[in-house]
Structure 1
């Protein structure tokens, strides 16, 4: 609450100064520049994100560069995951009546208390032996000068803070900062606006138009994509500060609230012409993705984590990073050799017939068994994904040194045991399969792999978020080519970058490609193939993921069947743009 009050006071001061004469400003203690800078920091303190916390923690391990700390930090994350799982299990067991329920509760509580005791011991050990780790895992807000120093010459930063009464935006480049206030977009109005656009992205498109691929819209209500609303959001969130981004080609965004569930790529930069259902509605629309390659971060401080600590070579650290003691980083990130360019898993063996050409599936609740394990029969009944097989075959042909597991080889055992070495050595990691959102009870989001005959703790055919978090990666780019991999529940207003995105940041990824809604199997195959083609095109910077995704989106849109943003815009790059 104190943060909100200070932010409100600072913004009020900005508004007051804006209306004063030059002589009055000279007599005022606060200046527009100082207030803009203070409000920029206050806004950051108001943002809480699990994904940002994940980035900070893994970057702290790499920055400290001590094997003993690495083991302790890994154990700590495992204990936290176990603690959270046991808390959910205890909650479930309280609903189990009788002696059996009482016995299970007692056993689970004993394990829970043992876990808490060990976690306390590990925390004390880390605090005593590695005090810098605590500082790195509790990052502070970056000042304007610090943020500017971490930006590249061709980048801009857009910070959007959704407040109950209004939305505040800041535009930052290496040499400029501007701010604006959208009074008509408080939290309630923003949530309604995003919900309206998301509805048209997940249930829209005219089924009567033979020029639009009906795959992911079959049997659903017809709602035209509201280009006027998409343009209105652009005029409130980007346009007021866009002069700061003049000449920039990449825009890094940090957004809050309902906006975390909406890719800003779908904002229209010009007022729409003609009907939203007209045959040329989409081909004549100018989108934000046409103007900038886009990447999003869970917090502004994530820039420091990504560009100062999570780099493969100390020489690649941003010039805006603080001095680094010793050669700790070189001894961690460089220790992993690139034995594989890519490790990819997907196209699991499933018995269900492909439905509507999408990678949609029930929530995780729909596939869980009696306990913590997935029901392998329910998993096996999910629709087969022919597009996933085509996608991974294309990547295999592009990267001959890649490790690609499909069909019977795409198992949880391979991911968590057999292929851990390849995963830790790969520059790119891809999962192409069904992604399930978190359930309404205790079920975690996760990725579907080929189910075993019998579910075990080691392999139940479902790679949950907590299991993914325990992988050890050095990947620059993790692609979750599935449905709804961005959010924990996919609802506007919720934590939009949690669940699987957070898990893969914990595992060590520098950037993660995630989706915001049910995706077309065929269009997604084309999008991922085109993105990787752009990554290693002659003369391209193989590390520039944001621009490669921008190229992939444009290639998909060139096919009139996929001109609707539901097909080309579901994916967002979270993390280092390149």
Structure 2
């Protein structure tokens, strides 16, 4: 209901803005007030699960009560269970097998029990922690509130895609611009994004003497369509870009098909030369050169990140509302840890085609647990080991689990304390996308000899959501970690990103396609080298670290194609 109402209000506000008509006979609307109303209505239309996860964890953090944390975690686990049971019921109802009747009856009873307990939990949270309920009630930010949340070097780009047009807002501390593009209808934008995505990813990167012979060998080249990318930039960003003059960090909030395309691949000048020519690619002007980029699931995520997910009250944004009264914390402060990292799982597959992913989670599942034999057959990732060994050398104060030690049991229980204290958290492994069945997206760990509920070698999104993190930066150095959770119409950031936000991350680095093992090693190690060269309080420090990592990959001529360097997006606080 909320999204539908938002689209209707957007339509009314935009109509008034374009025609100068009054929205109501008792009030005269100016272009400025209509633009402000449409800005807020657009946010209602773009409400997302990832934004909701950020709001919930920030509210729990602000409340400062471990009892609330336990209730909130039980609530999240119940929601996951309820949704899983709903998917199971759909399969049972569609089946004509008599055996499914018994399973359907049992699943129905379990669903009703989970729903009843969920309602009771909501009532208890409302009664005991009213501030939490207030903080988690989604509310759009006004243009003025957004301006106060932004830093001097930042701009915010909000893009709402509708069937008949695309609406774009550009906001900085000083200025606001709004445009409507009738050329970019929902259908046309989906076609353009699909065309560009077809020339990205492991199956699209070009091959030849200048390409890493261990990567993408024998696959057909698909040159990246820089002309199409330039046209998209010209219609989407160029009309409002004067607003971002002198800004170095660009925060983006997008919707629809555009959420599946990293805006770093937009070309900002008419391309020269042939698309398949590595020298022409190396000379191309990309949006990633102009700005350090970060994405947010919603504009309101600025408030979550900069008002409530802040340990030091002095570091809160000047635009934050007064803090709610916090309850007493039940534990003493713990010693922070620089890094907790896991990866390079022991796998038996040949590393001859080293990309960090497989098709879907369905391909490795056997009922509710992963099939250990199928996990073991995945390719071993040599670059992941090098990446983690480099990080281990960089951070002596670290917990780094490589190979046999990189187990699901270590992540969920053995190293839970280290994870809860770590400033940086890294997973360097295969990432699997959700499939058509109940299988969730997740990360591959070293498989055990026999799968159990405690450890089947696969850290699913719902299991990741139950981790306890206090991390500035979670890096999912794997394939397709920005993908949807597999629900019909699932949003682009509703899977693993949502899970790690709920666990307590301030920012998450995720990928949009299969990534090269070797190129990703270069990107991640260069990003952390840049991160360590700047103070934690530097503006946009994590977004600029990703920018540095991308430049390090592009510095090698064989990796000029954006399939190698553009897959990763920083979601959350840019730094």
Tell me whether the two structures share a fold, i.e. TM-score over 0.5. Answer: yes
Partner of 1:56: 55
Instruction: State the Cα distance separating 1:512 from its structure 2 match.
Output: 0.3
Q: Is the 8 A contact 1:265 1:289 kept in 2?
A: yes
Residue 189, structure 1, aligned to residue 171, structure 2:
no
Partner of 2:17: 14
Partner of 1:290: 289
Q: Is the 8 A contact 2:62 2:326 kept in 1?
A: no
Task: Give matches, 1:446-525, under 5 Å.
Answer: 446-488=442-484, 495-525=491-521
Deviation per CA, 1:109-154, whole angstroms, max 9, x where unpaired? 3333222222121111112222222222122110001111100010
Residue 3, structure 1, aligned to residue 2, structure 2:
no
Aligned length: 567
State TM-score, norm by structure 2. 0.94
Partner of 1:204: 204
Q: What is the alpha-carbon distance in structure 1 between the residues aligned to residue 455 and residue 88 of structure 2?
A: 19
Partner of 2:339: 342
Residue 552, structure 1, aligned to residue 553, structure 2:
no
Partner of 1:568: 565
Task: Give matches, 1:148-187, under 5 Å.
Answer: 148-187=147-186
- Unmatched segments (≥5 aa) in structure 2: 22-26
State TM-score, norm by structure 1. 0.93
Task: Give matches, 1:202-281, under 5 Å.
Answer: 202=201, 203-207=203-207, 209-213=208-212, 216-281=215-280
Q: Is the 8 A contact 2:431 2:443 kept in 1?
A: yes
Q: What is the alpha-carbon distance in structure 1 between the residues aligned to residue 489 and residue 110 of structure 2?
A: 35
Q: What is the alpha-carbon distance in structure 1 between the residues aligned to residue 329 and residue 176 of structure 2?
A: 37
Task: Give matches, 1:59-458, under 5 Å.
Answer: 59-94=58-93, 100-202=99-201, 203-207=203-207, 209-213=208-212, 216-327=215-326, 331=329, 336-369=333-366, 371-458=367-454
Q: Is the 8 A contact 2:62 2:324 kept in 1?
A: no
Q: Is the 8 A contact 1:268 1:288 kept in 2?
A: yes
Identify the range of structure 1 (419-428 vs 60-69) with the bigger mean alpha-carbon deviation. 60-69
Deviation per CA, 1:41-75, whole angstroms, max 9, x where unpaired? 11111112110111111111112222322221111
Deviation per CA, 1:499-557, whole angstroms, max 9, x where unpaired? 10011011111100000000000000010000000000166757711011111111111
Q: What is the alpha-carbon distance in structure 1 between the residues aligned to residue 400 and residue 377 of structure 2?
A: 23
Residue among 524, 528, 540 paired with 2:524: 528
Deviation per CA, 1:281-313, whole angstroms, max 9, x where unpaired? 111111101110000000000000010101121
Q: Secondary structure at the match of 2:482?
A: coil
Q: What is the alpha-carbon distance in structure 1 between the residues aligned to residue 261 and residue 98 of structure 2?
A: 48
Instruction: State the Cα distance separating 1:219 from its structure 2 match.
Output: 3.7
Q: What is the alpha-carbon distance in structure 1 between the residues aligned to residue 488 and residue 390 of structure 2?
A: 34
Instruction: State the Cα distance separating 1:335 from its structure 2 match.
Output: 5.5
Q: What is the alpha-carbon distance in structure 2 between the residues aligned to residue 258 and residue 76 of structure 1?
A: 31
Q: What is the alpha-carbon distance in structure 2 between the residues aligned to residue 47 and residue 553 of structure 1?
A: 29
Partner of 1:25: none
Q: What is the alpha-carbon distance in structure 2 between the residues aligned to residue 494 and residue 465 of structure 1?
A: 14
Q: Is the 8 A contact 2:435 2:486 kept in 1?
A: no
- Unmatched segments (≥5 aa) in structure 1: 19-27
Change (3 A) 1:189 1:538: closer
Q: What is the alpha-carbon distance in structure 2 between the residues aligned to residue 234 and residue 490 of structure 1?
A: 29
Change (3 A) 1:493 1:88: closer
Change (3 A) 1:32 1:99: closer
Q: What is the alpha-carbon distance in structure 2 between the residues aligned to residue 181 and residue 410 of structure 1?
A: 49
Q: Secondary structure at the match of 2:279?
A: coil
Instruction: State the Cα distance separating 1:280 from its structure 2 match.
Output: 1.5
Change (3 A) 1:352 1:145: same
Deviation per CA, 1:13-56, whole angstroms, max 9, x where unpaired? 222349xxxxxxxxx92222112111111111111211011111
Deviation per CA, 1:76-101, whole angstroms, max 9, x where unpaired? 11111122222233344456776754
Q: Is the 8 A contact 1:212 1:563 kept in 2?
A: no
Deviation per CA, 1:419-462, whole angstroms, max 9, x where unpaired? 11110000010000000000111110000001111111111000
Instruction: State the Cα distance separating 1:238 from its structure 2 match.
Output: 1.2
Identify the range of structure 1 (149-158 vs 108-117) with the bigger mean alpha-carbon deviation. 108-117
Change (3 A) 1:256 1:94: same
Partner of 2:24: none
Q: RMSD between aligned alpha carbons?
A: 2.3
